[in-house]
Structure 1
């Protein structure tokens, strides 16, 4: 029997992992093809083990392709690359001489209606993207969850068509990043695993599972170990790796604080065996970063990874891992609802078995709540009907007021700006690079 082909993106990350390298990746996207190509080339040449990104603009994400076309014609700026508006020949020219086994490229978008994006990326010679029926639906708009599941089912089918040209597609679940912040890690892990199972049920074999850095490094370590444990158990016939996102919430205002936070993300990735890190720059609190600033972040994260000790955790006793215990219970209860995982996800939100704090989507019950305790860990204040033990719930006495919510949203910003002020010394920077 001829073995199934390996996805170039997944195979590249797997080889880097075997070689002991953390793969680092930006979120870069430019509307102009020449600028997008230049950005990809700069990322490829960075002093780091990198993969490229085509981040899609907001018009394309919501299917407003006419608006994207009009913006291009009028010379108005877009906040990403309109892959479904540029002709396939243009997209291929952007990637020509850049994309290859030693530099794969992933399309990142944020769409609950991704069919046009998937068609465009496959026609352009690409085979790696990300998202999910829950994670690219609930936080980003009002598309009904049932519709998003249907859209993502069609998109998975479209993505598997790349096998007709001898390629293997790769799909990353964004489930571990739902809302970006103030979501207790067990729910992030559960949604990431469930979306990966959804993809696998629809024929995807090369997968990555995401988790976003939160407010406490020890709790984050538990979460990534939980994610890896559940993936190993439930995805035995898939090629998968874990991708960590540097903190997605309000970023430190000081350069030093931002770099310290990025360094902590890189160290966390190495310590827990995550294979890939999505970076943020030192300028996220102020403006969109330039290509050079993205490259700087990639190189700083890579330097930190190279100087951090990789601690094997595959044999670690996680009997006291509360994140794993909660996530496992969530996943098991959802899978009991229906053999079709898409239908199970819809049913889980309808019953409140999954419920994202502070998410205003109509299909999210909104009965759950969370807060940051005095040690920096994310805790539940309420769980609604989610199958989480009462011992894990602090109770309504900790429920956030509007002022408390705003204070919590700036917790990381304030913490790392304070650390930067107290340290009195710059974060590590790549040798031979000068910074202002």
Structure 2
């Protein structure tokens, strides 16, 4: 399994050192250039001022440093076995796509829904138009012999408390949008939630729908380690990351985006990122070995609790609205056919609500106008959360894993991994390099 950090530093030398450390980690890795907030929002004047004044930035300002600087950062680092992806968070990413292409890169991520509703006040219609142009720009890299890659962020909406049926549906719909606008290398995301059984079902459904609806696209599934309130204890954070790696192996995800033991406190260091990569790789290798053991026997079948039925109903309802998937997405949100719980964007209906069962499963309390009412009602509908219940649900994972870590005896040293695989993640995942 390929593991990848979220890593971005404003100083080119520090960014290069971070990429080198990621490449040297005892794992099969993909490099990351995570961009700063000014670049994400298109405020390039502020990014230039910050660099000139020596002010801190929370990422790499790819559109400000210029193509020559970024090429120097990547020279001798990015290669066939170590591709580098640009991660950003922009609802209007054309300037970012132009900058990464100018630097010789051709892999990034996001989406017209997933980088609009949670992260901006940009009207959805404008985000869809910008992402259409960005997809076409990225697809144009094929003219120079590259095979560009775009990863949908749709399976990570709000990071938490979004039931899996909607996450799977938006991830697939964004992938279909990418394909409609010229991309042939696509990955589909899903974020780890609070219950591993529900997550395994969701990842299985995501892979199945991708194979069915994107048969002409080189695609894979990527899992994000939990994106909500992270455990405060190093032991709890490590257990959560290890569970993410094991989940990825069981459910067939090809790539894992890691988080570190510092997530609850501050931006992690390069060293902490490397340790997270190696922790995840070791846990994945252990899970592979356990599953391959004759003593393990057949694995438990993946449950069917209705995630696939919900996802198919949502995807079908959106695709019936318009042959142009971008217009269909805009109409779907206007009609409430897609409705993200707890999302305050003006183009989100805001009628849906979710709840967290005691075992960690995410359930719908109210589906609003989404066409899944009969599918989502399995047993009594949980109550709509008040403020105290919402805060408790948001900290459920943190409490659970900190408690598990406190009750766990000290772990024996983790044995070293076998030598790093020589196969190229570029070929396996469709990510290319300068």
Q: Same fold (TM over 0.5)?
A: yes
Offset of residue 236 of structure 1: 0.4
> Shift in Å at residue 317 of structure 1?
7.6
**Structural RMSD (CA):** 1.8
The aligned residue for residue 127 of structure 1 is 106
Rounded to whole Å, the distance in 2 between the matches of 1:428 and 1:283 is 21
CA-CA distance at 1:325 after TM superposition: 1.1
Cα distance, 1:321 vs structure 2: 4.3
* Structure 2 residue 178 is the aligned partner of structure 1 residue 169: no
Match of 2:431 in 1: none
Give the paired residue count: 409
CA 427–343 in structure 1, closer or farther in 2 if over 3 Å, else same: farther
Aligned partners of 2:168 and 2:190 also within 8 Å: yes
**What is the rounded CA distance, in whole Å, between the counterparts of 1:224 and 1:377 in structure 2?**
15
Q: 1:55 to 1:427 in 2, by over 3 A?
A: farther
Per the alignment, residue 211 of structure 1 pairs with 190
Contact preservation (8 Å) 1:253, 1:286 = yes
- Cα distance, 1:425 vs structure 2: 2.2
Say if 1:251 and 1:97 are closer, same or farther in 2 by CA, change over 3 A.
same
1:87 aligns with 2:66: yes
Cα deviation digits, residues 308-336 of structure 1 (max 9, x gap): 03869xx9987834111111111011111
Q: Is the 8 A contact 2:318 2:332 kept in 1?
A: yes
Is 1:241 aligned with 2:220?
Answer: yes
Contact conserved, 2:355 with 2:382, CA < 8 A, in 1?
Answer: no
1:48-197 matches, within 5 Å, as: 48-197=27-176
Q: Secondary structure at the match of 1:84?
A: helix
Alignment of 1:216-231 (within 5 A): 216-231=195-210
Secondary structure of 1:398's counterpart equals: coil
Correspondence 1:408 to 2:387: no
Q: Residue 339 of structure 1 corresponds to which residue in structure 2?
A: 323
Q: Which has the higher contact order (CA 8 A, sep 6+)?
A: 2
Query: 1:286-312: CA deviations, max 9, x gaps?
Result: 111000000000000000001103869
* Residue 355 of structure 2 is aligned to residue 371 of structure 1: yes
Structure 1: gaps (5+ residues) = 1-21
For residues 430 and 70 of structure 1, do their structure 2 counterparts lie closer, same or farther at Cα, with a shift above 3 Å needed? farther
Distance 1:430 1:68 in 2: 44
Quick check: 1:381–1:395 contact (8 Å CA) kept in 2?
no
**TM-score of the two chains, using structure 1 as the length reference:** 0.91
* Partners of 2:318 and 2:337 within 8 A in 1: yes
- Unaligned 5+ runs, structure 2: 293-298, 418-434
Q: Distance in 2 between matches of 1:349 and 1:429?
A: 48
The alpha carbon displacement at 1:390 in A equals 3.4
Alignment of 1:311-350 (within 5 A): 320-350=304-334
Task: Tell me the secondary structure at the aligned position of residue 72 of structure 2.
Answer: helix
- Aligned with 1:130: secondary structure? strand
1:72-115 per-residue CA deviation (whole Å, 9 max, x = no partner) reads 00000100000000111001000000111010000000000100
The question of whether the paired residues in 2 share the 8 Å contact of 1:23 and 1:276 is answered with yes
Q: CA deviation at 1:397?
A: 5.4
Contact kept in structure 2, 1:256 and 1:427, CA below 8 Å = no
Q: What is the aligned counterpart of 1:269 among 248, 252, 256? A: 248
Deviation at 1:431, TM superposition (A): 4.1
Tell me: CA distance 1:318–1:430, structure 2 relative to 1, closer, same or farther (3 Å).
closer
Q: TM-score, normalised by structure 2?
A: 0.91
